[in-house]
Structure 1
Amino acid sequence: MTDAVELEALDLAALLCSRVCHDIISPVGAINNGLEVLDEENNEEMKAFAFDLIRKSARQASAKLQFARLAFGAAGSAGAEIDLGDAEKVARGWMDGEKAEFSWTAPRALMAKNRVKLLLNLVLLATSAVPRGGSIRVSVEGDPSAPDFTLHCSGPSARIPGAFEKLVPGHLVDVHVDAHAVQPYYAGLLARSCGMDVAAVLDGTDVIITAKSAKAA
């Protein structure tokens, strides 16, 4: 088996920053477009359209930044815990701008920061598993200190995210890692940091992504 090769810290930071910028550039650009319409148009219908665009895009940008803060950011000191209710809130905010319907079943409990970050990053991988929309069902089971995550992804052309099998274990040989491909790689880093095993399988036409605590694996 090919040995895992880790990205340099600076490269990983740059790729994660690129990922965040990629996610928010669209709603921020839409806000700018709306402001330009307000500057140039006197038509009341066009102004109303511009205000709606600005409001919707501002909400979307805010939701994506709040999600990124928990999924990629420090979110407290080392060893901190995060309320799963807060994770659900930012996940639902993120999914409001996605094609797939979303459901979340989890206890209201505190969980170690990196486990929550892993769960949120798996939500991002789940959205790429159903590129044409469908549904994503998230469930969290077990004790918060040794949880199991399951993300059931259903939709037209559902597929295991690209390079998942190589990048989650950290095998970078012959794999180009860009702002999109860094997602499964980072999820793998998080999983290993908290002793969880991540896998994705096809179940008929659906994709099932799981993360199991090592004790239960």
Structure 2
Amino acid sequence: MTAISLEPLDLAALLCSRVCHDVISPVGAIVNALEVLEEDDPSMKDFALDLIKKSARNASARLQFARLAFGAAGSAGAMIDLGDAGSVANGFLNDEKLSLDWEAPRALLPKNQVKLVLNLLVLATQAIPRGGKITCRCTVTGEQGNFAITATGSHARIPAHVEDLIAGRSETGAIDAHAVQPLYTGMVARAAGMKIAFAIEGDTVSIGAEPA
């Protein structure tokens, strides 16, 4: 494995590409539904309106999640409420395929710790590609959080190359938009002074984060 060398502008571009990829689907559905409405077919009006409402909520949830997980979320040294993080995580993850069980106190933590747990939830979804249940347990001592996440579902697996990417390594030393999220997760973990561990048993993948 080779250490990944990435210019700040390239990192920003890859993260933007990742966020756009997440939002394109619901926005595209809204555009399609509006085109249906323009056809003035009364039998399709209710379907189109329902699709617009559902897709708009989906796009909003994805953007709110991205704002906390990838965005600045305030100035340097800012604190974020775990309760707010739980709200955006529930809005983003709970759907027909996934369910999230979030357990955390209403507490303020340094922003990089909160960004870390949200990014770990994204990795948890990748561990159960066919869907399932994700649990997230956050404990807080002072301004230090500890995070324990499990992802349970059919064909569960530790995402390919994720541990190397978190450590800042890849086979070639280069990455694409699909690999930037675990790389970024590792960068956030190091900025927060925390370490990440993966384990798998049966159909359950466990992801833990604690002070390094």
Shorter-chain TM-score range = over 0.9
Match of 1:196 among 190, 194, 197: 194
- What does 1:1-217 correspond to in 2, within 5 Å? 4-43=3-42, 45-97=43-95, 99-174=97-172, 177-214=175-212
How far apart are 1:209 and its partner, in Å? 0.7
Q: 1:141 to 1:165 in 2, by over 3 A?
A: same
Using the aligned pairs only, state the percent identity.
58
Is the partner of 2:3 in helix, strand or coil? coil
How far apart are 1:165 and its partner, in Å? 1.6
Q: Distance in 2 between matches of 1:152 and 1:6?
A: 31
- The root-mean-square deviation of aligned C-alpha atoms, in Å, is 1.4
How far apart are 1:175 and its partner, in Å? 5.8
Task: Answer 1 or 2: which has greater strand percent.
Answer: 2
After TM superposition, what 4+ stretches of structure 1 lie above 6 angstroms from structure 2?
none
TM-score w.r.t. the length of structure 2 is 0.95
Q: Distance in 1 between matches of 2:103 and 2:40?
A: 46
Is the partner of 1:142 in helix, strand or coil? strand
Deviations 1:11-68 (A, max 9, x none): 110110000000000000000000000001322x310000000000000001100111
Deviations 1:108-150 (A, max 9, x none): 1000001100111111111111110110000111315222111
Would the aligned equivalents of 2:5 and 2:174 in 1 still touch at CA under 8 Å?
Answer: no
How far apart are 1:205 and its partner, in Å? 2.5
Would the aligned equivalents of 1:60 and 1:97 in 2 still touch at CA under 8 Å?
Answer: no
